[in-house]
Structure 1
Amino acid sequence: MAKIADSSFLRRTSSIKKHGTSAIRLRGPGRSRIFFAMTIFVLVYGAIAGRLILLGLQDGDPAKRFLAAQNTVAQARPDIVDRNGEILATDIKSAALYAEPRKIPDKDEVFDGLISVLPELDNPTIKRRLESNALFTWLKREISVEQRQAIHALGLPGVGFRQSNKRFYPGGQTVSHILGTVNVDNQGLSGMEKYVDQAWLKDLQELGFTQDRMMEPVELSVDLRVQHAVRDELRRSMEYYKAKAAMGVVLKADTGEVIAMISLPDFDPNNRQQALEKERMNRVTGGVFEMGSIFKGITVAMALDSGTVKLEDSFDATKPIRVARQKIDDYHGKRRVLSVPEVFIYSSNIGTIKMMQKAGVPAQQEFLKKIGLTQKMKTEMPGVARPLLPPKWNELAAMTISFGHGLGVTPLQMAVAGATLVNGGKYIEPTFLPRTKEQADELATQVISPETSEILRYLNRENVLRGSGRRAAVPGYDVGGKTGTAQKVVNGRYVEGLYLNSFMSAFPMSDPEYLVLITLDEPQKVEGQHYATAGWNAVPTTASIIRRIAPMLGVVPDFADDAETIPVSYQNRN
């Protein structure tokens, strides 16, 4: 709960507790707890009673009583700031226009005067409101200072103004899906605005403790500079590759803090109507997707950590796998036996399936549950979608899930799982609020061993050095990652050439600080490119993003000759 700058209420509460306890002289922990509960009960209900008394003392005019009852609506909200103190959302003074029709002698004169300043009020609904016999009616909830002055100058009888608060977002679209929106009464509808209401603000407003009080700002984990850079690069890539949508997440690998989250197309929260348009939904937390081959890292980690597969093992990928009248093949098959690193680097579906089979279907189900991919993700952001699980988790479903088809998850879920693979094996629930390393360690669950995580860092780095992630290389930043090109489903069938492309990366891979997940929805092949797969679009987009945000995040580049690889032990592990 945010703190209120006026601490007199807290001082009075402290004083009541102190003097009350000494006067009654209760002894024993049981009696102390009873007295404490009674004190809180009296304070809360006393505040409510006081509020009702104040309302009862208002002017007897019904219209004014109605206005008094509206005091909890459109009240002040705390500023929302990023991790560096930059204002993301704030209140500005506004005015609401109302009428008391019974006090209007000439309805037509008032109507004509109003529409001369506010032409949008020239409609039958407003005219009917003015011609009614109502005590009170709203005409327009948000008007500018200039409009208020102009209407006031007309001297229209029965027309009045109520000072109000209007939410303003200085960054416009930049942080829209994280912040969300508020309604005309300044109540949170989505995003972190809704979270603040649910967490504590609504309770304080109902008790009347937010009027004329300055509240401390709510600080987010987001870095506005990084958010802007990621959004800018995604916007450019979306336009260049003619994609229908784009998504991006930057996650602090060791704390689970969301540093940036973008879903394009986005909206301007200053124009709340845009948020209702279907194509502007928050795909990162509200959409579920089959993520494709970036899922192979999950399967490799599961197989290695189970002990059924070792890094030096090999798998025969010479022939496609046939099951239940289905043929599963590699996109660019090598048609030979592949080592575990080669299965990962060459993104072999066949090799990945055989690694999963060594561990077994129950082991796959259990591991995906531990890494947070089979249940609804827990975080502050409202509106998080549930994963889409296969109707029957049989052998065929397990095969396709092993390489990223047949199981739908949100991109943020996928990013959290990816961070787990490279941060030493700790699953940490994501947060949009600041969190220290110590706090994260208390919440973390060890999902895979540090040794398995070390191998995954090695494989991801190798994929950038000599695999499908080569275009993600940024000198000095030791980038590693895995591509994913998932065929999309249309009318129940996978469609060749219609892709959801992703690249999940981390840097510096020797000791990952940040995880970056970039996804482009249906990007097109451009001139000079042989394919429209992830290596040709999501990967170079990631490189552009890391090149911009790494200096902002204080990651010092390392150009040492020996910084290009991660040492990994190949000896057998028990």
Structure 2
Amino acid sequence: MIRTPLRPLAQILEARSAGQNPDRIERENIRLRHEQMRDKLRQRAETRLLVLGVLFLVGFTLIGTRMTVLASSDPVEPQASASAARIVAQRANIVDRQGRVLATNLATNSFYAQPPLMVDPTRAASELIKIFPDLDEKDLLEKFTGPRKFLWIKKKLSPEQVQAVHDIGEPGLLFGPREMRLYPNGRLAAHILGGASFGREGVHSAEVIGTAGVEKAFDDYLRDPALDGAPLQLSIDLSIQAAARRVLMGGMKLMNAKGATAILMDVKTGELISMTSLPDFDPNRRPKPLIKGDPSDSPLFNRAVQGVYELGSTFKIFAAAQALELGLVNPATMIETKGPMRWGRHRIRDFHDYGPELSVTDVIVKSSNIGTAHMAINIGTARQKEFLAQLGFTTPTPVELVEAPGAKPLLPPKWSDISTMTISYGHGLAASPLHLAAAYATIVNGGTKVTPTLVKQIGEPPLGPRIISERTSLQARQMLRAVVTSGTASFGEVTGYKVGGKTGTADKPKPQGGYHKDKVIATFASAFPMDDPQYVLIVTLDEPSENSGTEPRRTAGWTAVPVAAEMIRRVAPLLGLRPALDPGDLVGVSHTRL
């Protein structure tokens, strides 16, 4: 850098020759130098202020933009990244067809101990026994004073228990966050929901996995983070499920039954509006399965799906419908009913003597085994087997429950002519009540196959393949209606809802072979309203006995039918069905105009 001298020699000499003071030249040069330095510093300061201003502007813009994004987004829990696979604990809710919660999540705590951090293990063990009486004090103390550095004590705690453990004041007793599955309706829909438990666990989280029912069938869906917590919406209606369970529980007790099940299905969509199996359980405290004995003795046993029974005379309508469809008979065709019917060494008998012959309609109304067997033998073994297969009686039901694939119908090892006859009236082939519900829906809905489902259907579902014609379906409905108005299901009449159905009473088989004489499966398969069927209702009672008379009565007409009638009376208004009054009900009523 070139610096200007403060006392230039030329200017000094020139000033002296002119008689001027040379010091003035130095002072002037100092002033000019200071002015240059000031201007330079001012320019530098202005540049710095400009840069800082730009930086502040950019910073405030970024902060404002981020705040705007945060304000417009949904709040989420921050998650720390880790190298290990993260445990996904979040699980979607399950709701009914109205959006009411059936299963949800509850934030709680797990409880563990780190013995090396404990101050007084003896006191800690003693105090914990007061809070958790199911623990063993001696075992706890051994673990607290042993070499273990980590110990699970409880996988989930209530808030009261957390506070009680806090009050102990032991630093070695620690908590971890947990998300547990909660079923706010308790036993209601227990067999449908199934239950959940913990899978992989860590100190700070645990995955919740389904153990049975739809919880397990839809486990991947419920745990899929890509769905952003969208709930699983089932087809069942919580209000109707509650009403059906209440009636079924009362009916089971009144009829002294060992167990019971009820299925309410939409005949067009196959949606299960209600499905109840008793005895049941609380999925919040799911019991352990039986290790030995009869599986149906466990409350975990879903009789609607897993219960594979001979369903008795409820099968007779299938033989009649097939014979009508094939053109072998019409509703007025007379069928031989003289008994007993001999086929080789076998004898087929009716519960009552119905005379030498009955019309096809009366065969169903009076429930004649002999008449049904004659129709079946005319149909033939191959055609009967094909027809029942189309109705779904040869394969497990495809309903969305993990228990369903294991409930295979029991078919005869050799489908002989005698099998054809006995199967036509419900003996020799065992299926679940859900099989029966789907088949009856197919028969009464106009003849198109129905597939049962527990998922709410959106929009108009596609029609299944046609099994019988609409004309045959209408004739079958008329027969089922006559069973209620003048047949074995007279207790099934519900004013205003035109119930139709068929009773079935089948002796229970013995484990060692043969049949019990005093134990039956009583079933009433019904539909309503029969002029335009909307719903099918199946009620099955295991070992019922109506004891109000001098002799116990076990047939479905005395046991299952009254229970089904009361159930229809309760749930029909909830389904939005208005009772239809017959013209005869208006006799003596005068109409006035205001």
TM-score for the superposition, normalised by structure 1: 0.81
Matched, 1:492 2:506: no
Is the Cα contact below 8 Å between 1:263 and 1:282 reproduced in 2?
Answer: yes
* CA 292–424 in structure 1, closer or farther in 2 if over 3 Å, else same: same
2:87 to 71, 78, 90: 71
CA deviations on 1:141-194 (whole Å, 9 max, x unpaired) are 011111112212322122211111122222111211111111145311011111
Taking the aligned partners of 2:569 and 2:100, their CA distance within structure 1 comes to 23
Letter in 1 for 2:298: E
Matched, 1:223 2:223: no
* CA 337–81 in structure 1, closer or farther in 2 if over 3 Å, else same: same
1:453 to 473, 479, 482: 473
Moved more, 321-330 or 507-516: 321-330
Matched, 1:196 2:199: no
Taking the aligned partners of 1:365 and 1:401, their CA distance within structure 2 comes to 10
Counterparts of 1:117-516 in structure 2 under 5 Å? 117-123=131-137, 125-185=139-199, 186-198=208-220, 200-204=221-225, 215-273=229-287, 278-280=297-299, 281-384=301-404, 385-436=407-458, 438-441=460-463, 444-490=464-510, 491-516=512-537
Moved more, 454-463 or 185-194: 185-194
Counterparts of 1:511-522 in structure 2 under 5 Å? 511-522=532-543
CA deviations on 1:297-318 (whole Å, 9 max, x unpaired) are 1111122212223323211111
* CA 180–245 in structure 1, closer or farther in 2 if over 3 Å, else same: same
Quote the offset at 1:496 in angstroms. 2.5
Task: Compute the RMSD of aligned alpha carbons.
Answer: 2.3
Quote the offset at 1:393 in angstroms. 0.9
Taking the aligned partners of 2:441 and 2:550, their CA distance within structure 1 comes to 31
Taking the aligned partners of 1:215 and 1:245, their CA distance within structure 2 comes to 37
Match of 1:64 in 2: none
* CA 459–562 in structure 1, closer or farther in 2 if over 3 Å, else same: farther
Taking the aligned partners of 2:322 and 2:111, their CA distance within structure 1 comes to 62
Quote the offset at 1:115 in angstroms. 2.3
Is the Cα contact below 8 Å between 1:424 and 1:454 reproduced in 2?
Answer: yes
Taking the aligned partners of 1:127 and 1:483, their CA distance within structure 2 comes to 63
Taking the aligned partners of 1:439 and 1:127, their CA distance within structure 2 comes to 62
Letter in 2 for 1:397: S
Letter in 2 for 1:71: I
* Structure 2: gaps (5+ residues): 1-68, 70-78, 200-207, 587-594
Quote the offset at 1:533 in angstroms. 0.7
CA deviations on 1:479-498 (whole Å, 9 max, x unpaired) are 11100011111231122332
Asked which structure has the greater CA Rg, the reply is 2
Is the Cα contact below 8 Å between 1:195 and 1:382 reproduced in 2?
Answer: yes
Quote the offset at 1:457 in angstroms. 0.6
* CA 336–562 in structure 1, closer or farther in 2 if over 3 Å, else same: farther
Taking the aligned partners of 1:395 and 1:123, their CA distance within structure 2 comes to 68
Letter in 2 for 1:525: E
SS of the residue corresponding to residue 505 of structure 1 reads: strand
CA deviations on 1:87-142 (whole Å, 9 max, x unpaired) are 21121121100122343354334323322322322255544443443343211101
Taking the aligned partners of 2:381 and 2:142, their CA distance within structure 1 comes to 67
Letter in 2 for 1:455: Q
Quote the offset at 1:332 in angstroms. 1.3
SS of the residue corresponding to residue 368 of structure 1 reads: helix
Is the Cα contact below 8 Å between 2:107 and 2:180 reproduced in 1?
Answer: yes
SS of the residue corresponding to residue 284 of structure 2 reads: coil
Letter in 2 for 1:328: I
Match of 1:55 in 2: 82
Match of 1:62 in 2: none
Letter in 1 for 2:311: M
SS of the residue corresponding to residue 519 of structure 2 reads: strand
* CA 98–437 in structure 1, closer or farther in 2 if over 3 Å, else same: same
Letter in 2 for 1:496: K
Is the Cα contact below 8 Å between 1:254 and 1:440 reproduced in 2?
Answer: no
Taking the aligned partners of 1:145 and 1:436, their CA distance within structure 2 comes to 40
SS of the residue corresponding to residue 537 of structure 2 reads: strand
Taking the aligned partners of 2:462 and 2:137, their CA distance within structure 1 comes to 56
TM-score for the superposition, normalised by structure 2: 0.79
Identical counterparts, % of pairs: 40
Taking the aligned partners of 1:243 and 1:98, their CA distance within structure 2 comes to 46
Is the Cα contact below 8 Å between 2:241 and 2:273 reproduced in 1?
Answer: yes
* CA 308–452 in structure 1, closer or farther in 2 if over 3 Å, else same: same
Quote the offset at 1:452 in angstroms. 0.8
Is the Cα contact below 8 Å between 1:255 and 1:436 reproduced in 2?
Answer: no
Taking the aligned partners of 1:478 and 1:382, their CA distance within structure 2 comes to 36
* CA 481–131 in structure 1, closer or farther in 2 if over 3 Å, else same: same
Match of 1:536 in 2: 558
Is the Cα contact below 8 Å between 2:505 and 2:522 reproduced in 1?
Answer: yes
Quote the offset at 1:335 in angstroms. 2.2
* CA 242–156 in structure 1, closer or farther in 2 if over 3 Å, else same: same
Letter in 1 for 2:99: G
Quote the offset at 1:543 in angstroms. 0.9
SS of the residue corresponding to residue 174 of structure 1 reads: coil
Taking the aligned partners of 1:501 and 1:462, their CA distance within structure 2 comes to 20
Is the Cα contact below 8 Å between 1:256 and 1:440 reproduced in 2?
Answer: no
Is the Cα contact below 8 Å between 1:333 and 1:348 reproduced in 2?
Answer: no
Taking the aligned partners of 1:388 and 1:263, their CA distance within structure 2 comes to 21
Quote the offset at 1:275 in angstroms. 6.4
Taking the aligned partners of 1:183 and 1:125, their CA distance within structure 2 comes to 25
CA deviations on 1:34-70 (whole Å, 9 max, x unpaired) are xxxxxxxxxxxxxxxxx9x9323xxxxxxxxxxx867
Taking the aligned partners of 1:126 and 1:109, their CA distance within structure 2 comes to 11
Taking the aligned partners of 1:418 and 1:180, their CA distance within structure 2 comes to 26
Match of 1:23 in 2: none
Taking the aligned partners of 1:203 and 1:171, their CA distance within structure 2 comes to 25
Matched, 1:91 2:105: yes
